[in-house]
Structure 1
């Protein structure tokens, strides 16, 4: 049996056409700063980024009477619009066998540790509102005939809290939020790259950006100034930091700019890595049904010889096939899952094939080749067999199982000229998400007054998280940031701040990096940073290599400071700034990682800390794998986070205990006045655990 879904429905869920933007407003004034004439765009609140989290913040602010503006390097070009965010993890109070409560969901969200307990509870409570409002805007989340939301199990989720509109879930979220932003007539400045925060002793005053459309003889770089009273970082994560990445091209994030502004970062040691197709072609995570249909996985060497390399790791065909399936809801690499022949042994095997110069493929027209016995749907572990049986996926070949379980998975690649129904699919282990970012409190506030962070730009996710919960977090905190800014009342009208002094300093800093005789180009910096991060800060981290990588990263930033960056054309200035800031951010990540390892930190989340004295030794069918012996995570490390800030040219790293939440102690008559008077928005940070 195959599911019968009309082609037009598949097309609508795959080819998601984004709305056209209205023209950006014209500048009402200009200011003269040094040799430059700069356009000025005043606003109450400014959102950096046009992904799902940033759009949510903008829409919710506009509804609360805030004068809000959006700037975006590339509208609909970020991870939530272009990458493989195919689900949202939400509260599941819908059926008896999948019942839920907010505290249980919060415990699941923060189970990996290094996450504030109050933040996890906020995300759990807010998920109901996030889902309902997205449905109101038109997001087609699937329901049964009685109105219950269809759910399934995902990464780090034993309850089954995930729901999905198909592989384009996050793009559909961006679409409905963008349509609402356009309806609300929110000014949108596309092709506008944020480069410097403007501030004074009281807090934020604005932003310096590059808008190529503004380029003139008196403004050769296209600089523009955006005075504002509130600034929201929502430009995603540092996707360009790694050579091996599933981020869409051009995703820089804003961590370097945040460090330069004096913002504190947290958990930047924590990322996600997993199997996906590379961004050189069509970047997409190969989770869910792509692996649950159990395709054949093999490698090809330089001579074209095909290798059944997983047979070097697993003991039986059943064990191998069952763990290929489990990558569907155990997608991120996790060090502990290399043990006992679990699913991350697959990630390790693929990673090592890549290190040997071999290309890795999955073939949906072949079942896995045998190890001890031929592959059979009758010989699978019980959890795998039960799932496929419930799904009715008893077809002979993986492609037919995929066509039955998720035809959209096939359609998606076809849109990018890859027909997985006919040809094998090349893939690798790639960087996919940074769980850390800018440190925020329960209202999304940073350590600088007037500056907020949401989505992947914020560091709210902890060491691990349920798949899809990052999308939910962006929606929840986008709303909370809007509530806080709206309640403050300082951004209801365009800012009238005098930003000329701060802008002059920022411009001097930016132009000071341009030196025509420098041997460094932004392409040199890109190659250096990406190779170092992928080779020494990926899924396997050796303490000595990390320390050496940090030394090299510091040396690169010293060279940038001393030599500047050669910019052949004025239009390249934006890339020069972005790579200068990315080099700074990469040093911050390595500094935090080196600090964590030197203090005895163990393997957690995305990285195995390899150590010949480590307690954990992965095994393969051929015996122990001593080169990947690793330290186990110390339980105490789950209770804190590493905070990082820039002090001059040095990074200050501190270990801060997670904030606590000890249960819902609200009482209506006692607590209602705080809501009525707005005292809830003036609450301070909760105590540490």
Structure 2
């Protein structure tokens, strides 16, 4: 349901048999019935405030979770450094150019915040360099000045200390000296003839397209620093499916791509190819082989669809009636679940907070009927946030249950608690 008109019931069997799908274009609402559903909705980009998913990529796993589709490995996601204004992963040469990392406080005070946490400027700069191809946050690379300590410190500056963080390509980091880099970093920059100048000079020397990419989005790295954060980038878990990419709990539902929970803990590249390209092909073959004959009866779906439409209409009407009242608005409602995911479902999973966060998440879902919208133009966001808030409750429940079962740090997240082993004083 994408707009605010009354539901339109469409019988998929009226479509010619040589068609394999439906493209719906219009400003109204539609209820579609099909003998099989290929559920390729992408990752849950709308769950986090700090997200590098493309703008508009919200995900829709909550729609399937609401109707009871089994899931697997919701605890496993991938996080990494990314720019915030224009969303883009700052991996590769953006790090190998060794920019200056600075944070700025509410009063404008600037600090090169990495410095106290590394044994020397050379160790700091070598870790930043390695961040180029050790991009996703990895708990195994935090200790002893590893590259993921950079992510941890960026996270700490932003979410704990409330400061903004930037990569500055205009000046070298304090104490910069190429002789103090580790062999891997120094030899790489030597081969690229990129030892001299500023980080901007090195970046332009090694990868001029990387410079132009930001220029094309209104950001000149030669003139301004780049605001960054540790952002959600990929969900390795998702809906549970069999070898034909059919849901293990709902027949004829085929989750393909990132929404399929087959990317395991560290997401090897082949898993992504399997989930999308191979998975879609196998789903198509299963549909042709098992469900080619249309056998969906009107009695199977018209009454449930009508009841669902009436329920959604009541939600919409109720939210509109609350407009201009003191009820919680959409922006505050969204910010609440996104901040909770950033705080407890990101790279740090605090043991003491996990269960409370899961309970608070479900309480927020139950409060959905109390929120308001000020205009019919907000209806699509209203319905989107319903499945997003349910999804975030499911994710936090999975995280809390994992921790309570003595699950520890792995993948792209640290489980932090008083009984654990210290990674770093940060």
TM-score by length of 1: 0.56
Equivalent residue number for residue 173 of structure 2: 368
Deviations 1:295-348 (A, max 9, x none): 111222233332121111111122111110111111111222111110111111
Structure having greater relative contact order (Cα 8 Å, sep ≥ 6): 2
Deviations 1:429-475 (A, max 9, x none): 12222111111122211121111011111111111124686356422
Equivalent residue number for residue 611 of structure 1: 417
Answer yes or no: is 1:306 the counterpart of 2:136: no
Q: CA deviation at 1:43?
A: 6.2
Are the aligned partners of 2:260 and 2:275 in contact in 1 as well (CA < 8 Å)?
no
Are the aligned partners of 1:363 and 1:424 in contact in 2 as well (CA < 8 Å)?
yes
Equivalent residue number for residue 10 of structure 1: none
Equivalent residue number for residue 163 of structure 2: 358
Equivalent residue number for residue 272 of structure 1: 78
Equivalent residue number for residue 280 of structure 2: 478
Unaligned runs of 5+ in 1: 1-34, 46-64, 71-187, 191-210, 214-221, 620-624, 629-689
Deviations 1:368-398 (A, max 9, x none): 221xxx421x332222233334444344332
Are the aligned partners of 1:44 and 1:66 in contact in 2 as well (CA < 8 Å)?
no
Answer yes or no: is 1:255 the counterpart of 2:56: no
Equivalent residue number for residue 237 of structure 2: 436
Distance in 2 (CA, whole Å) between partners of 1:462 and 1:450 is 23
For residues 577 and 316 of structure 1, do their structure 2 counterparts lie closer, same or farther at Cα, with a shift above 3 Å needed?
Answer: same
**Secondary structure at the counterpart of residue 189 of structure 1:** coil
Equivalent residue number for residue 247 of structure 2: 446
1:68 to 14, 17, 20: 20
For residues 43 and 346 of structure 1, do their structure 2 counterparts lie closer, same or farther at Cα, with a shift above 3 Å needed?
Answer: farther
Equivalent residue number for residue 189 of structure 1: 24
For residues 406 and 382 of structure 1, do their structure 2 counterparts lie closer, same or farther at Cα, with a shift above 3 Å needed?
Answer: same
Counting matched residue pairs gives 412
- Spell out the pairing of 1:21-170 with structure 2 (5 A cutoff): 36=6, 38=8, 40=10, 42=12, 67-69=19-21
Q: CA deviation at 1:365?
A: 2.6
For residues 557 and 304 of structure 1, do their structure 2 counterparts lie closer, same or farther at Cα, with a shift above 3 Å needed?
Answer: closer
Are the aligned partners of 2:104 and 2:163 in contact in 1 as well (CA < 8 Å)?
yes
Answer yes or no: is 1:380 the counterpart of 2:181: yes
Equivalent residue number for residue 340 of structure 1: 144
Q: RMSD over aligned Cα, in angstroms?
A: 2.6
Distance in 1 (CA, whole Å) between partners of 2:108 and 2:328 is 38
4+ residue runs over 4 A deviation: 493-498
For residues 310 and 565 of structure 1, do their structure 2 counterparts lie closer, same or farther at Cα, with a shift above 3 Å needed?
Answer: closer
**Secondary structure at the counterpart of residue 263 of structure 2:** coil
Distance in 2 (CA, whole Å) between partners of 1:309 and 1:572 is 41
Equivalent residue number for residue 589 of structure 1: 395
Answer yes or no: is 1:230 the counterpart of 2:51: no
Distance in 2 (CA, whole Å) between partners of 1:250 and 1:189 is 18
2:381 to 558, 575, 593: 575
Distance in 2 (CA, whole Å) between partners of 1:460 and 1:618 is 29
TM-score by length of 2: 0.89
Answer yes or no: is 1:532 the counterpart of 2:334: no
**Secondary structure at the counterpart of residue 287 of structure 1:** coil
Q: CA deviation at 1:533?
A: 1.3
Distance in 2 (CA, whole Å) between partners of 1:533 and 1:389 is 42
Q: CA deviation at 1:274?
A: 1.3
For residues 394 and 224 of structure 1, do their structure 2 counterparts lie closer, same or farther at Cα, with a shift above 3 Å needed?
Answer: same
**Secondary structure at the counterpart of residue 618 of structure 1:** coil
Q: CA deviation at 1:496?
A: 6.9
Are the aligned partners of 1:43 and 1:494 in contact in 2 as well (CA < 8 Å)?
no
Q: CA deviation at 1:520?
A: 4.1
Distance in 1 (CA, whole Å) between partners of 2:200 and 2:125 is 15
For residues 502 and 39 of structure 1, do their structure 2 counterparts lie closer, same or farther at Cα, with a shift above 3 Å needed?
Answer: closer
Deviations 1:182-232 (A, max 9, x none): xxxxxx335xxxxxxxxxxxxxxxxxxxx5x2xxxxxxxx22122212111
Distance in 2 (CA, whole Å) between partners of 1:352 and 1:379 is 27
Deviations 1:607-627 (A, max 9, x none): 111111113x123xxxxx1xx
Equivalent residue number for residue 359 of structure 2: 551
For residues 271 and 396 of structure 1, do their structure 2 counterparts lie closer, same or farther at Cα, with a shift above 3 Å needed?
Answer: same
Q: CA deviation at 1:494?
A: 10
For residues 520 and 44 of structure 1, do their structure 2 counterparts lie closer, same or farther at Cα, with a shift above 3 Å needed?
Answer: farther
Are the aligned partners of 2:35 and 2:291 in contact in 1 as well (CA < 8 Å)?
no
**Secondary structure at the counterpart of residue 101 of structure 2:** strand
Distance in 1 (CA, whole Å) between partners of 2:362 and 2:372 is 19
- Spell out the pairing of 1:382-531 with structure 2 (5 A cutoff): 382-447=183-248, 448-466=250-268, 470=272, 473-488=275-290, 490=292, 499-514=301-316, 515-516=318-319, 519-531=327-339
Equivalent residue number for residue 99 of structure 2: 295
